Amino acid sequence: MGKIRLDKYLADMGLGTRTEVKKDIKKGRISVNEEIVKSPEYKIDTQTDIVLADGKEIAYEELVYYMLNKPQGVISATEDRREKTVLDLISDKKRKDLFPVGRLDKDTEGLLLITNDGELAHNLLAPKKHVDKKYFVRLKTALSEDNRKQLEEGVDIGEDKLTMPSQVFLLNKEKDEAEIIIREGKFHQIKRMFHAVGNEVIFLKRLSMGSLVLDENLLPGEYRLLTPEEIERLKENA
């Protein structure tokens, strides 16, 4: 990344606003390579310089990627005065510019990517990219074979065009649990698709997005950093 101002470095890493960190710098609470620096404009090499705040090292992270198993009752937003957001669940986040890639409804669980990589987010969400997204659904009533075929061919959800072809796999004898793979991301799309064939989704969970698959070890509300391999595959496939 090259060199950036010390106050920006500290603010990016969540130590406070630019105004707050400038005060900390001027109080002599920040050292760079074992020397106290009192100038907010001091240029930091993010690759080589060692920055400490009150003796604690502040490592610089430019792009960050978290996999979250979103629980029900939490909204997919960066901040909200009344509701708990998915960013509130990331307790050890350092950067202030994180955001969820796409949205899951408040009552929907499952995979959510949280990052500050705008380019990757755009590529994953751009309609023309048609990134596969797999969901688990539990339905109010059994899904008939005719309805399953309708969903796969495309249904009318009140848009200009029918939904793109999807894949639907029934998972049990009662035919009320299924996995569905879609290549779009319209508002409430899964629920609207099943509603279009006279059914109702009573539970919805996202299992994958592109090459990224929800870690089975993550309970609802838990998260982890993506592995380098997961990040690389996501970027390649997006």
Give catalytic residue positions.
105
Write the CA distances from 236 to 17, 39, 68, 197, 223, integer angstroms: 35, 41, 21, 36, 23
Q: Which H or E run contains 139?
A: strand 133-139
- CB distance 230 to 212 below 8 Å: yes
Q: Which residues contact 30 (CB under 8 A, 6 or more apart)?
A: 6, 10, 24, 36, 37, 38, 51, 52, 53
How far apart are the C-alpha atoms of 164 and 57, rounded to whole Å? 50
- CB distance 49 to 42 below 8 Å: no
- CB distance 89 to 221 below 8 Å: yes
Q: Which residue has tokens 């989704």? A: 201
| Radius of gyration, alpha carbons of the chain | 22
User: Residue-wise over 143-161: b if at least 16 C-beta within 10 A, else e?
Assistant: beeebbebbeeebebeeee
Give the residue among 61, 163, 171, 170 at the shortest CA–CA distance from 116: 61
Q: Which residues contact 72 (CB under 8 A, 6 or more apart)?
A: 106, 107, 108, 109, 220
